Amino acid sequence: MNEMIEEIFLSCKDEIEKAINHQTNEYMVVRAGRANPHILDKVFIDYYGVPTPLKNMASITVPEARILCVSVWDQTQVKNVVKAISMADLGVTPNDDGKVIRLVFPMLTEERRRDLVKDIKKIAEETKIAVRSARRDAMDMIADLEKEGQISEDEQTSAEKDVQKIIDNACDKIDEIFKTKEKEIMEV
């Protein structure tokens, strides 16, 4: 196979992998009725003028299925951490006893579960859009190679079919990740 076509395939696969990794990371933040430390990944604290991720200044543990405990290493920052968690709009109120911050996650209602499923469906669709964009780029590059006479029409057709197979596999994987997360959210 032509080296240039192989390079196009690698570029396409790389873009798809980035999109799927993004989907997986976004799903980690969506809470499904259980305490998940990743829900705090996007919480930043103004630590002496520097926005610092919470995970860099505290240990986060899950002592029970619906409780997160945040132990801040610098006790002078506990109030700032509580404030940052409150402002992050996570759907939980932090309880602070002066040393440890507890986040108790309530059971999700049926309506809230359905809303979360809509949210993750939207993330899956955005991922598919990114994958289709990678397909379009790959197809354009293959067509350009044919126009420049670097590959034949048969090679172009074959390469386009291979790109489509890569895209179909990626879409199946995206759907599989979505269905797994949907099942996790809808479980009572």
Q: Does domain 37-104 have CATH number 3.30.1360.40?
A: yes
Q: How many CA atoms are closer than 13 Å to the CA of 49, on its beta-carbon side?
A: 0
Specify the pTM: 0.73
Domain boundaries defined on the chain: 3-29+109-186, 37-104
Mean pLDDT of 39-43: 83
| Mean pLDDT on 112-139 | 93
Question: Nearest to residue 29, comparing CAs of 102, 98, 116?
Answer: 116
- pLDDT exceeds 70 at position 33: no
* pLDDT cut 70: percent of the chain above it: 97
Nearest of 74, 79, 104, 110 to residue 90 by alpha carbon:
104
pLDDT at 46 over 90: no
Architecture of domain 3-29+109-186: Orthogonal Bundle (1.10)
